[in-house]
Structure 1
Amino acid sequence: MQWGELSQMLSGHAEPRGCYIQQLAREDIPQVTEHLREWYPDIQVGTESRHLEPSFYEREFFLRGESPDRSLYAMLCRSQERHEIIGLLTLEKNVRGLQISAPMGAIKPSHRALGIGQLGVTVLEAVGRSIGAEVALYYSTLKLARAQLNAEHHGFKLVGIVPAFDMDAIAPGTVKRVYEAIYAKVLTGPEHVHIPDWNALIPSTRALFTHLFGAHPIHLANAPVQERKHG
């Protein structure tokens, strides 16, 4: 599960109109952290605040032209006209679990109406499939409906809402722990996925499983027999 060439990982994925995608390079780091402070004031607190630290990129990221043996990868979105950085998406792989996730995405405020940020979910899936991930996880803020709708539109399934998931600035000078949604998309075949034993589930997990995924296979298998008995 190795990071590949950017063009390979995004093969068949159209770039945003008027923009192009580029892997983060070491020389881009000071500019990226400066932009994030300007574009995204809420990033000063919580897990995403690590993206303001140059050492985070230097220590954890596969930077352009350097060693690919890092767990994180960053993509810059640049304007075709001026080549300025207008967006950032970071991806993280879990090699042992064959998972991929997107820790953060940010777009320059003046370019948000172009819909560039909505491409993050499709990039996450495309890269995941390219490097052999078997599940993609997407964490969504509950501040904005469009992030949630975009995930569902591209086949990601809401699998949970975690209370007090992270710290966030909910108003000027006010920081609280916030709820966040978790979406998932399975990138491998059903033959590789084990369905939990119904008898091992307690009533609350049975109810949640049924709500999220529908009837358990054991019930589907028994349905014709039950119908005959009722007949």
Structure 2
Amino acid sequence: MFTPLPVGYSWDFLNHDEIDAALAFFKAWFPSISVGMGSSFMDRTFYEDKVMAADRHTTPILALVVRHNDEIVAIATWEKIDGPDVISGRVGAVAKPHRQSNLAVAAQEVGEKMGRHMGAGLIYGMATTRTPYMQQALERAGYKAVGIMPGFDLEETEPGTLLRIYEVIYVKQLASASAFLVPLHQNFTPAVARLYTQIFADNPKNFSSQ
């Protein structure tokens, strides 16, 4: 299932004895998650309960790493949402010296493959508007921007300053088009009709940009 990586890079699972390394990695390369929805990924107990339980098949969070010369240079995490059978991209980061190696795009492709394997109908993720890097990675992986959530999360923009940030909602359809109930125009308010037309003008029956 793993998407091929450039020469010298390899996928692996985050091991229990690397939890402290993961905390240090995010502190170095994604420090803004120390507050808000991503803050749990800075908590050792979260990894032990949600990622590293005795049976990883039952844990809701999957954490993968990319290694380069035995060093962790990227971490990607996903959450399986039971009921609607949806997979959600959670926190991910790439060390700055390796951000031109398309590791984030490869991670999105892995998430899609996992979603299809588990029968998920949709995969989605949120991208910050503070930098374009994750937006670019999701779009290159075939995701479609379907909305912007104002104040969805908190970020520490500078020491001691917490602000609510705008985040972009990205989705990609995994199930066939026949599995989706296409909404009727008569069920839209004028504002929603305009928004829907703008978002899905290319293909209103398919979330995918491909």
Taking structure 2 as the reference length, the TM-score comes to 0.88
Q: Which of 164, 167, 173 is the matching residue for 1:180?
A: 167
Aligned to 1:148, what secondary structure does the other structure show?
helix
Aligned to 1:117, what secondary structure does the other structure show?
helix
Q: Deviations over 1:113-158 (max 9, x none)?
A: 3332332222221221122211010211112223223322222111
Give the equivalent residue in structure 2 for 1:100.
87
2:11–2:67 contact (8 Å) kept in structure 1: yes
- For residues 64-143 of structure 1, what are the structure 2 equivalents within 5 Å? 66-79=55-68, 81=69, 83-143=70-130
Partner AA of 2:47 in structure 1: Y
State the 1:215 CA deviation: 8.6
- Please report the RMSD computed on the Cα atoms of aligned residues, expressed in angstroms: 2.0
2:64–2:75 contact (8 Å) kept in structure 1: yes
Q: Which of 139, 155, 178 is the matching residue for 1:152?
A: 139
> Aligned equivalents of 1:102 and 1:74: distance in 2?
10
- For residues 164-175 of structure 1, what are the structure 2 equivalents within 5 Å? 164-175=151-162
State the 1:112 CA deviation: 2.4
> Aligned equivalents of 2:98 and 2:47: distance in 1?
24
Taking structure 1 as the reference length, the TM-score comes to 0.81
1:78–1:85 contact (8 Å) kept in structure 2: yes
Partner AA of 1:22 in structure 2: D
2:154–2:164 contact (8 Å) kept in structure 1: yes
State the 1:212 CA deviation: 1.1
Aligned residues: 204
| Shift >4 Å, 4+ stretches | none
State the 1:172 CA deviation: 4.0
Unpaired runs of 5+ residues, structure 1, are: 1-8, 218-231
> Aligned equivalents of 1:196 and 1:67: distance in 2?
37
Partner AA of 1:168 in structure 2: E
Identity of aligned residues (%): 29
Aligned to 1:20, what secondary structure does the other structure show?
strand
> Aligned equivalents of 2:202 and 2:131: distance in 1?
31
State the 1:216 CA deviation: 9.4
Unpaired runs of 5+ residues, structure 2, are: 205-210
> Aligned equivalents of 1:145 and 1:36: distance in 2?
18
> Aligned equivalents of 1:215 and 1:84: distance in 2?
42
Aligned to 2:181, what secondary structure does the other structure show?
coil
